[in-house]
Amino acid sequence: MSNVLDEIVEGVEPWPGVVSVMAGERTPVLLGLDIGTSGIRAALFDESGREIAGSSIRSDHISIASEGASFDAEILLEQVATTLSAVLTNIPETVTSIEYIAISCFWHSLMGVDERGYATTPVLGWADSRAVAETYQLRSEFDEATIHARTGCRFHPSYWPAKLRWLRSEQPEVFSATKLWLSFADYLAYQLFGEPVTSVSMASGTGLLNQVTCQWDEELLTALGIAINNLPEVARPDRRLPKLTAAHAVVWPQLSGAQLFPAVGDGAANNIGSGCHSTDRVSLMVGTSGAMRVSFKGDPPTQIPPELWSYRASRERVVIGGALSDGGGLYNWIKETLLFDRFPDEIESELELLEPDGHGLTVLPFWSGERSTGWNPNARGAILGLSKQTRGIDILRAAMEAVAYRFALIAKALEPFASDAMLVASGNALRSSPTWIQILADVMGRPVALTETSEASLRGAALLALEAAGKIQGVEELSVPVEMVFEPNLTHHVRYQQALERQEQIYKQLLT
């Protein structure tokens, strides 16, 4: 293993507050860490899954470019280390020890490391779209429906098979120098705990895991020229949980006895944290990107609708859904580009007053490409119907409605798995715009509930770890209160159905 993180934390003084923590009434806790494409969140949780007041820390990224396309692993490691130090500095005196570490991390990232553990590539995120040609090659070589049923993933630039083939073709020296192919979450475990171990959840988002056996798919590995020992071990249920390396335990002594639960995918954690852990609730999340997912205990489906993917939250829990590459990222881009001189509250008030589909625009919201529902690796954004009367606020409203139409298509594909489920909204983009939640309710023609949990992925990772450790009987025993329910306006719903059909017609004309 390398000493990359040793170099990052070199000079950091060991935490001085150990003695003071030992006083008073104390309780063991879990440290939760959520590494997203927009920032890092950390907090402490008690053994019942309740967040400890005053322990939460958030830091925004300064390193991730192009909304998740690629970034420097060492810079992000440094931000993780800084966040860990910050949350441990604020540790309450009632805490006697930290027993577990639970991590939620963004899905689909890929990076290489050499024999010393140093990065051979940047971290390639889901939005890195350079492997378009390789995607089409894979689709021509394999029966994609068979691979989709087995791995839960379509061939697409966001997944590992196309990325690995692109790296082998375009960067053969880098490919040859790479000993291990990892997600950023796996790389973090390698640096902090000395073991390149991955979870079933994280592996399920690569496109290389057999979702039934929970092992790496040998047929795909052979086609890609990848050996099993070039990938991290997929942690088994009986595997001994790793602990912090001795060198890092000196810097963070409160974590010296804590055991790591291998990171889970942020989408799976979001479902659990927002209370969407059975087929009676569907999570609708809008952050930088967007996703709609249903999670349940059981086996993955033998046939997956082509619009959707199937991943895992754990060996016992399946997550099925669809993902949009554009959500809050597109919302912010339009505001910063066209409405940069307006205050957020002013924008929200004006958005609320606009008539549904009253702008005369049709938007294809693919600024960052398309995943669900068409999985077109060449798709790009478009705005049609512009005139001299079109204002920036009209374009923003049209884009918000356009994203809602794509969610409606995912919802239709999800009906076989959750036909009468409650829609539960989460994500900072939706929390900042009640108008957007109302648009979603009107487009769907169904109520949309907003939960009181603002950091669902962080909470979900903590609950899954406590369940696995036997501290709680199951995540189902912890309910999530609803903050507000947005009821649909059915008159608006009819108008939006016509607009959705218009969007679909233009999509077919331009992109298929």
- pLDDT of 295-316, one tens digit each? 999 999 999 999 999 999 999 9
Q: Closest Cα to residue 33, out of 87, 71, 72, 78?
A: 87
Q: Is-same-fold flag (4-265; 276-452+481-512)?
A: yes
The 10s digit of each residue's pLDDT in 468-489 is 999 998 888 787 888 899 999 9
CA distance 18 to 204: 39
> What's residue 10's pLDDT?
53
- The letter for the amino acid at 231 is L
Q: Is 209 helix (H, G, I), strand (E, B) or coil?
A: strand
Q: Of residues 128 and 7, which shows the higher confidence score?
A: 128
121-144 b/e (C-beta count within 10 Å ≥ 16 → b): bbbbbbbbbebbebbebbbeebeb
3-state secondary structure of 309: strand
**pLDDT band of 7, cuts 50, 70, 90:** low
Across the range 21-50, mean pLDDT stands at 80
The pLDDT of 454-466, averaged and rounded, is: 92
Compute the mean pLDDT over every residue in the chain, rounded to the nearest whole number.
Answer: 90
pLDDT band at 339 (very low <50, low <70, confident <90, very high): very high
Give the C-alpha separation, 414 to 404, whole Å. Answer: 15
Closest to 443 in 3D by CA, of 432, 451, 452, 435: 435
pLDDT at site 4: 55
Q: Where are the beta strands (DSSP E) in 287-389?
A: 290-297, 309-312, 317-324, 362-364, 382-384
Asked whether the predicted pLDDT for residue 12 surpasses 60, the reply is no
pLDDT at 21 over 50: no
Span 363-412, pLDDT tens digits: 999 999 999 999 999 999 999 999 999 999 999 999 999 999 999 999 99
Q: What is the dihedral of CA 111, 114, 118, 122, to 10 degrees?
A: -30
CA neighbor of 215 nearest in space, from 195, 235, 238: 235
SS in 3 state form for 460-490?
Answer: HHHHHHHHHCCCCCCHHHCCCCEEEEECCCH
pLDDT higher than threshold 60 for residue 22: no
**Residue 508 Cα distances to 336, 379, 500, 504, 512, angstroms:** 30, 11, 12, 6, 5
CATH, domain 4-265, list 3.30.420.40, 3.40.50.300, 3.40.190.290, 3.30.70.270: 3.30.420.40
At residue 14, the pLDDT reads 42
The C-alpha atoms of residue 257 and residue 193 are separated, in whole angstroms, by 12
Whether residue 239 is predicted with pLDDT greater than 80 in this model: the reply is: no
Residues 276-452+481-512, CATH architecture: 2-Layer Sandwich (3.30)
How far apart CA 177 and CA 386 sit, in angstroms, is: 50
CA atoms within 13 A of residue 402's CA, in its CB half-sphere = 30
What pLDDT digit, counting tens, does each position of 63-101 carry?
A: 454 444 788 999 999 999 999 999 998 788 778 889 999
Looking at residue 454, its pLDDT comes to: 77
Q: What stretches of 206-280 adopt beta strand conformation (E)? A: 209-210, 215-216, 233-234, 259-265
Q: What percent of the chain has pLDDT over 70?
A: 93
Domain positions in the chain are 4-265, 276-452+481-512
Burial class (CB in 10 A: 0-12, 13-18, 19+), 172: exposed
- Whether the CB-CB separation of 295 and 460 falls below 8 Å is answered with no
